[in-house]
Amino acid sequence: MFENVIRAQGKSGQNPALTRNGRLIVFTIGEPECLRRVLLPPLVAVVCVVGYASAVVALVLPCRSLSVFERDMAIASEITVSSTHHGSRQIRTTGLLDVNAVPVVVVALIATLAISMILAIGIGAVAVTPGTIWDIIIGKLLGQEEIDGIPRNVVQIVWELRAPRVVLAAILGAALSVVGVAMQVLVRNPLADPYVLGASSGASVGATLVILFGSFGLGSLGISLAAFVTSALTMAVVYLIAQEGGRLTPMRLVLSGVVIGYVLSAITSLLVFWGDPRAAQQVLFWLLGGLGRARWAVLWLPATVLLVVALRMMMISRQLDAMHAGDEAATTLGVPIAWRRAELFVITALLTGVMVAISGAVGFIGLVIPHITRLLVGGLHVRVVPISLLFGALFMVWVDVFARWLIAPQEIPAGVLTAIIGGPLFLALMRRRGRTQRGLG
């Protein structure tokens, strides 16, 4: 809606396009059907070609032997398979892609993500060309207030509205994917996810309290702090309820998370009912998950937290491998299990709280993306963490594009689209996992 107003203010006459030195910089056509026919197909084709080409290159690369640590992990996990009463499980060190192809996949994902972000910024009621977007970004990074030859309204649309939204989409997808990886290691359950285990619902309660009743002068930081506290408390409650005889039962964990999530959703609804009616619509739309609140001023916190958490998980990736294989394997390899679990607990609560505070509850990314990543590159976290991060960012960027485009000028909440896409995809992955396990058995 903001783009339509800005476009109307900057539009002169009936010209369908603006040019700069004879070069097309922006379409001033607001009809979604025109964008569907003219702009989106070639852009999607470019992204698909880059992605599929990188996959083909990765598949044909030669194989190399496993590293020493990978062999140690394979041996340790084989040992722990026989100790089923400890809940140990075998970790898969290789995936569908060749081991030597992982660096190529990382580079290809980075390039595809960069291209996708530029294209995503250009899609909307005002369809801006990639060259113009690049000129605006470079000009703003150099501190220029005015960009020569580009109308002020176009600069405002690109830099103040779309660019922070696309960056937030990438941060959100990356963060939720990393949280999914951390939580699955923490509870040793491939079904673990902030949304499934109630962490997102817990964070929503804290954020809703602040939005409806005030942040006590802390602003957006107050929302993140409240979301972190309630998310951590929720995870602690779910973790304690799921204990059975001193052991963490996977099925009990999922059921506990679902039940606690329903209870917290009811509490959130009650808070909305009690709160200011004028804020109810804003809270309800926010709870469905969306990126409409994206501004440059609020991006520093989620970006910083994501960077710190991702780097830390890469530093302890080998210990995460051992923990994912089971307590016996981790103990054999000298991992301080209690300390690492406490660290993962803080990581998941912090990252979930910060993301929910900004974008609302967006589900299934942390569930599906790590599954797909492990299927492609295996279970070693030195590969899973960076590829999940990049893949999740890429996925969320295009989810946001379709959320803005499908029923334009209206917007579909991002959480609705991720549930529609992620639910069936997760069921398919679960069926494939079941067939694989039966085949191994």
- Residue 88 CA to residue 51 CA, distance in Å, equals 36
Tens digit of pLDDT for each residue in 252-304?
877 888 899 899 989 988 888 887 777 777 777 777 777 877 888 889 889 99
- Residue 418 CA to residue 395 CA, distance in Å, equals 9
Of 72-76, 104-108, 378-382, the one with minimum mean pLDDT is 72-76
pLDDT higher than threshold 70 for residue 169: yes
Better-scored residue on pLDDT, 99 or 260: 260
Parallel/antiparallel/unpaired status of strands 23-27 and 247-248: unpaired
pLDDT for the residue 100: 77
Helices (H), 123-249: 130-141, 152-156, 163-187, 199-213, 220-241
pLDDT for the residue 217: 65
Structure tokens at 142: 């150099």
pLDDT for the residue 438: 55
Name the amino acid, one letter, at 184: Q
pLDDT higher than threshold 70 for residue 215: no
Q: What is the pTM of this model?
A: 0.77
Q: Give the percent of the chain with pLDDT over 90.
A: 21
Computed over every residue of the chain, the mean pLDDT equals 76
Q: How confident is the model at residue 423 (pLDDT cuts 50, 70, 90)?
A: confident
Q: How confident is the model at residue 242 (pLDDT cuts 50, 70, 90)?
A: confident
pLDDT higher than threshold 80 for residue 58: no
pLDDT for the residue 384: 93
Cis peptide, bond prior to residue 103, ω within 30 of zero: no
Mean pLDDT over 106-120 rounds to: 94
- Domains in the chain, CATH or no CATH each: 2-440 (1.10.3470.10)
